[in-house]
Every structure is written in structure tokens, then in C-alpha cells.
Amino acid sequence: MFATTLASRPKAVEDHDDDDILVIGIDFGTTFSGAAWATVEDFASDQINLITSWPGIGREEGKVPTELFYEDNQIMWGYEIPADADPVRWFKLLLLKEEDLDPEMRSNEFILRGRKMLKENGKTAVDLIADYLRAIWKHIIETINKSRGESVVDALAFHIVITVPAIWKGYARQEMEEAANKAGLLNRRAAGDTTMTFAPEPESAGLSTLCEPGRKVKVGEVYMICDAGGGTVDLISYNIGDIDPISMDEAVEGTGGLCGGIFIDEAFERMCKARLGRKWDRLSKAGIKEIMKGEWEHAIKPQFKPGNNQKEYIVGIPAEAFGRESLDDTKRQPFIKNGRIHFSSSHIQGAFTEAFAGIDALVNEQIRKANKQGLKVAGIILVGGLGASPYLYEHLKKKHASAGIGILQSGGMRPRTAICRGAVIKGFIDGLSAGGVISQDSLAAINIEAPIKVTSTVSRFSLGMSYRSPFDVSQHLTEDREWDSDEEVWKAGNQMQWFLKRGENSSKKDPIRHSFYRTYRKDPGPRFQATLFQCEDEVPPSRATASVSQLCDISCMIDVPWNKFKTIKKSNGEKIRKLSFEVEMVPSGASVEFAIYIDGRRQGEQNVNVVFQ
């Protein structure tokens, strides 16, 4: 689904031609992050520029570690961090509230370690993300300046697309926006305002992978995008409605969970600790990093696939772990010989077991939902860091071969960079037009045709407002009966009007609008306020029950003076005022835009405030 962030429509970049736009996509990941960019001219010629050169490393890499290290009032990030440092990691996951984590995840070592690092550094998760975004943003701009020239880039208006997990709650996305602001990404430039939108990670991956050169899709086929990243695994399935250009609808409600690559790393680290015992405690931070980064993450993990039971996977252990003890221990498996652990294929396979079980459950649920609707999944496309794993490819291929489901995987850097590439595509075909920065007509005028588009999404929860209805004893509960002294009638309070129900397919071309009214005894002032609610029940209730929770408060300026409100005369002669209005919901990427209409006029478009609960 789109997400739960609520916002006014982004203000259009002023005084700029449509071809003076630069779109920058940022894939801010749990363990690794990436970036890509394109000008209008680039996009028109099917060119999206990847950033593959990073400070602190000589080779090209599609992504940079999402890590920070603070020392002597300096901030180091990514590959700059010294080998013997203990960097702050996994801080992306710390945006989630504890109640939004599974019980076992709340006590997970990665989460506990991350929260400890927050306290040690005296920072919040937003602070850490802002520090990281500030660093990567500086490098992005320096890279683009070197490529195109600083004077050229200075004349371009920026539109930023940051990708977020589809399973994230609205408050987490709002805190991401706060971090981006704090990092200076939205600072005003000579070229005008910088605009920013969010995009769900699996949707961005789908946009980039389904229109890759050589990828052939057919009308009616369903493709599942499995975005297997460092922390989260998000799945989204698309039904191909048209080709040339590709048009697709989200087929079924997406799923996701915390079963990404870091949990495989955690399992491998536990294996090493269990085998080394007290020797592990003698390792320095640099020694542990040598094992986990050099031996595991850069060597065994990305290349491993089972099958050869005779093959050994040898992990060198720094000498400091052994002290004066023998470098050999063959009393139990895995054997330690000459200071190296000799893992068998089955040992390594065990590190993947729990995470793969989580992925299997997510994939099976998507297939089940598709089959229930009479749809057949034609293929599963793997993206993300873990998506590049040959073991995951072979694992899913074996699981689903009998059902005729193909497992597809790009080569080289493409699985790792699919999300930031897709963010750029989405910036042109969706975010810009939604924000009024580039209209679809303007895109056509400068000969840009979007190669792919998502025409509708499926809601992962119900979203609505509470209201009072004339009381009907045959429809309403007695406990909801309350007297309305303004209208002098009995009303049923606590009723719910749902804009969108869980599982419904929502087209961005068809905004959803409902009518309401309020009565007032005195001037309410120029700001209009409303509360939005959400519910994750399969079928949302008609009244606010325990499963209905407050999502956020939204307020905006209204341009209707008090004396223009409709006057109502009560039986005692007292006069009150009535304001009729419409609330419109427009799904857009990773946000839900809400607008208030009075007498057909959109209210407060440039002055909307949203506060999540």
C-alpha cells in the first residue's frame, strides 16, 4: 500500500521551467544506503546515474554502510569509519516504537544494542538519521557537481525521493521527514524550494526491475517483488494491465516483516560465539569486525549456496582470541585448526534458517492471497542486499518450481541499487506530478514518456473519521446514544466513516471524498481541525471499538469567515452556526494527502499541519 504519512500537496517549484529539475533518489537502508539521480534530459534518454564512489574506499560499490562513528566532535560515516571503531548501526529500526515490534524483536540483540548506543551518544534516532543524511547528502551533491558542473547544478531545482519500508507506520515516516529537514536537505536554494516525497521501497524496486532492458512481461501476469534488505523484507505483487508503457495494479495486500540480512548476521555471530566461548570475549572491536565484515559479510554470506556437503567454509580468527592457548581444537565440530574455524555447509546453512523461514511465510501469504483472487504469480523478482544472495535464489526456486513460478534476479549491482533507481523513476512519474512540480502534460511536451506506472494500490489498513449519526435503535447501540443540544435530537456517537477499507484497491486517479458538518456556538477561528483513525481488522467496525486507534490530527487554514457559516435557529430562539465541508483523501506514493473542501474550494493548501499520535 501507499503509506500513512499525511501531508498537503508539496508546493510547486517557483519560477522554473520544467526541464530545470533534478530528481535525487535516496535508499536509506538499515545496513546499507544508496543514491541515484537524473535530470529531465537524463530521464528522457533512459539514463539514471548511480553513485558508486564513496569516501574511504577505492573500489566502486553500489551502496555505502549505514553507520556512524562519533569521535572528538567529528562524525565519520560509511567506509570512513576505522576498523577498530564501534560504530552506531541499525538506527533506522530505532524509529519504530516498541509496541510496533514483535515481542521477540523488542529483546533482540540488534535492537537493544542500538538503543544503548543512543543513550551512550546522547542522541535520538532522528538525530542519528539527520547526521547520516547530512553526510550522504553532502557527498551526493559533490558527486553531481563533479559530473555536471557546480554552476549547472546550482540552477536546477531539486526534488528528493526517499524510500521507506512499506510496513512502517506514519509516525516513522514523519520522523524521517523531520530528520531530512534537520539534515538540511530542504534548505532553500537560489534555484528555489526543494520538494520531497516518500516512496515505498518495494514499489520503487518494482518500478526499476519490471522495466529493465530484456525483461519481458505480459498482460495479466502477476509479479511479486521481494525486497530483501538488511532489516526489513517487504513484498508487493503487481498485476500487469498493459505494456509499452507498462501499467500495473497492486494485485493483493502487500506483506512485510523484520527478517532481513542482519538477522542472518546475528545468527552467524552467535555460532562463532558459541564455538569460541571465552575466546570470543578476548577479541577487540577490530577483531570482531574482521570476522563479521571481512570473513562473513564480504566473503561467505554473499556467495554461499548449499549443495556441496564436502566443502568447508574457513573463517580466520584473529590471534588475540587464543592468547597462549592452542590454535587447534578438534574435540567437537566445527573444528578449529591453526586458528581457523572450519564450518561445514550445513553449519552455514543454519545461519540462514530463521530468516528464510520468515521470508517463506511472507511469500506464501502473497501467493495464497493471489490464488484466492484467481490470480497466478508468474515470477518473484529478488532485490535488495539479501536479494542478491544465490542461496535465497536457489531456496525460493526449489520451493516454488512445482508451481511454475519463476525466480528472477538481476546481476551485478542491480539488485542492490534497484530501490534508489526506482525512487528516481517514481520522482518523475508520480512525485513530481502530484506535487505540481512537473505535470503530466509538461512531461509529454518535453518528450518524456514514463516507461512504467502504478495505477492503483491496495490498502493495508482502514482509514477514516468518527462522526455522529441520527440515532436509530435498530442500527445503533444504546451506549452510543447521546443528546445533541445544538440540533435538539438524539445522535449515535462513536460512529466511523471509512475513507478506505483494508484490502481495497485504491486508484490515485479517483480521490475518495466524504461529506460532514459541524455546529458551532462561537467563532472557531481560522483553523480547521480533524482527527483521523486507523484499523487493521480484516473488516473494519461501523463504530469505534478497541481495534480503532487514533492515527493523527490534521489541521489547516480555512477561508470562510464566521458570518458566512449557515445560521440555524433552535426552539428557544438561540442561533447557532453550521459549517458543511468535504474531506478528500488522495493516495500518493508513500503518503496520503488529505484536503478540506468548503463550497467546492480547497482549503488551506499551503498551511496544513499533521501531528501523529
pLDDT at position 72, please? 87
DSSP secondary-structure letter at 111? Answer: H
pLDDT at position 414, please? 65
d(CA 334, CA 348): 11
pLDDT at position 461, please? 86
Cis peptide, bond prior to residue 334, ω within 30 of zero: yes
> Whose CA is closest to 393, among 419, 421, 415?
415
From residue 102, how far is each of 99, 107, 253 by CA, in Å?
A: 8, 9, 20
Q: Which residues contact 45 (CB under 8 A, 6 or more apart)?
A: none
pLDDT at position 11, please? 42
Judged by DSSP in three states, 201 sits in helix
Alpha helices in 436-554 (DSSP H): 440-445
What's the half-sphere exposure (Cβ side, CA atoms, 13 Å) at 113? 10
d(CA 491, CA 480): 8
Please work out, in degrees rounded to the nearest 5, the angle formed at the alpha carbon of residue 185 by the alpha carbons of 184 and 187: 65
Q: Taking the alpha carbons of 476, 478, 479, 482 in that order, is the dihedral positive or negative?
A: positive
- How many angstroms separate the most distant Cα atoms in the chain? 98
pLDDT at position 411, please? 56
> H/E/C letters for each residue in 406-461?
EEEECCCCHHHHHHHHHHHHHHHHHHHHHHCCCCHHHHHHCCCCCCEEEEEEECCC
Judged by DSSP in three states, 592 sits in strand
For the stretch 94-98, contacts whose Cβ atoms lie closer than 8 Å and that sit 24 or more positions apart, written own/partner, are 94/118, 94/125, 94/128, 95/125, 95/126, 95/129, 95/168, 95/172, 95/175, 95/176, 96/168, 96/169, 96/172, 97/169, 97/171
Judged by DSSP in three states, 498 sits in strand
Cell 570470543, located at residue: 280
Mean pLDDT of successive 10-residue segments in the chain (613 residues)?
34 50 94 94 90 93 92 93 87 86 74 81 91 98 96 94 87 92 94 90 90 87 94 92 90 90 93 95 92 92 87 95 93 95 96 96 96 95 91 96 90 74 88 49 57 84 92 95 95 93 77 88 88 92 94 85 91 92 72 78 74 75
pLDDT at position 9, please? 37
Cell 533482540, located at residue: 108
pLDDT at position 114, please? 78
DSSP secondary-structure letter at 386? Answer: G
> Whose CA is closest to 69, among 61, 60, 77?
77
For residues 36 and 423, is the Cβ–Cβ distance under 8 A? yes
pLDDT at position 1, please? 32
d(CA 560, CA 253): 40
> Crossing angle for the helix pair 170-182 and 125-148, nearest 10 degrees?
60
How would you classify the pairing of strands 233-242 and 406-409?
unpaired
